[in-house]
Amino acid sequence: MSEYTDIHRVLLTYIRSCKYIYHHELLETFQTIYTNLSGESPHEEPLQQLNKYLADINSRISPHGFKIERKNNELTGELCYIFINTVGDDIIKQNTLYSPPELDTIKQIIDDIVEAPEYKFSLGKVNVQQKIANSLNKTLKEASNLVDRLIDDGWFEVTLDDRMTLSIKTIAELKDYLIDRHGSSTNEGKILICQQCKEIVTLGCKHEDYFFHFKCYDVYCRNNNIEPDQDFQRIGPENV
């Protein structure tokens, strides 16, 4: 591994501080960090250089159970980078920011989102608050504060219609947990796997018996010389 420099450290700190970062943003920020700290512009192709820095950082942090993961945004298909925890078989349980009953609640919300009928992969925020108030014996105000905290901490995202969905970070971090717990669509389980990219689908479309991200469906049709079928079942909530 090449020398671990301030550029690595600042880059890692920046990525950790974001729930996720789009590729174009990270590339831009990387060039700024590089120029500010080294006093010169990147001397190679910036993307190549960024990838080298990320590889260095990943080999440095992976023994400690962390990773900078690459994952496509399910709606736009754009590449994102996410700092995730990779250690252990129960990442949720190891999280020390929450009490055990709160951690059980997080699991319950995740289960309910996965099990939402008609592939909605989402829950009304108000319903979640109500359920938490009941199960944890909290006031509605306290329950609402907890839900906001879970969203701020990056477990969930909220749609324009106030529906809670799994965040890109949760899907990346808990991929194995989700498939172990709910099974994958390749084995008639609840976690849907994209026919094209083989990643989890919580936002996309179902064509016949296959699941796709929207962009992946276009690619699949092009690759297989299929006329895109306008008749499909939506996966995930509207108005994301």
State which amino acid sits at residue 157.
E
Residue 176: both structure tokens together: 């194995």
CA neighbor of 83 nearest in space, from 167, 157, 159, 1: 167
User: Based on CB atoms, which residue is closest to Zn ion, 64 or 198?
Assistant: 198
| Binding span for Zn ion by CB under 5 A among 102-110, 154-162, 177-185, 188-196 | 188-196
Contact flag: residue 171 with Zn ion (CB under 5 A) = no
Report if residue 143 touches Zn ion, rule: CB under 5 A: no
Rule CB under 5 A: is residue 213 a binding residue for Zn ion?
yes
Q: Closer to Zn ion at the Cβ: 147 or 192?
A: 192
| H/E segment holding residue 129 | helix 125-135
CB of 92 within 8 A of CB of 133? no
Report the residue number, 122 or 196, with the smaller CB distance to Zn ion.
196
Q: What is the C-alpha R_g of the chain?
A: 20
Q: In whole angstroms, how close is the CB of 103 to Zn ion at the nearest point?
A: 30
Q: Where are the beta strands (DSSP E) in the chain?
A: 21-22, 66-72, 79-85, 123-124, 156-158, 163-166, 192-193, 200-201, 204-207, 210-212, 233-235
Q: Cα-flanking dihedrals φ and ψ of residue 210, to 5°? A: -110, 150
Dmax over Cα atoms in the chain, in whole Å?
A: 59
Taking CB under 5 A as the binding criterion, the range among 81-89, 144-152, 170-178, 194-202 that sits at the site for Zn ion is 194-202
Residue 201 CB partners (closer than 8 Å, separation 6+): 74, 192, 193, 194, 211, 212, 213, 235, 236
- Residue 194 binds to Zn ion (criterion: CB under 5 A): yes
Region near Zn ion per CB under 5 A, out of 6-14, 114-122, 211-219, 225-233:
211-219
CB of 114 to Zn ion, least distance (A): 18
Among 7, 146, 192, 216, contact with Zn ion (rule: CB under 5 A): 216
CB of 67 or CB of 71, closer to Zn ion? 71
105 vs 202, which CB is nearer to Zn ion?
A: 202
Nearer to Zn ion, 167 or 202 (CB): 202
Asked whether position 197 contacts Zn ion by CB under 5 A, the answer is: yes
- The verdict on 174 binding Zn ion (CB under 5 A) reads no
Q: How many residues bind to Zn ion according to rule CB under 5 A?
A: 5
| List of residues contacting Zn ion (CB under 5 A) | 194, 196-197, 213, 216
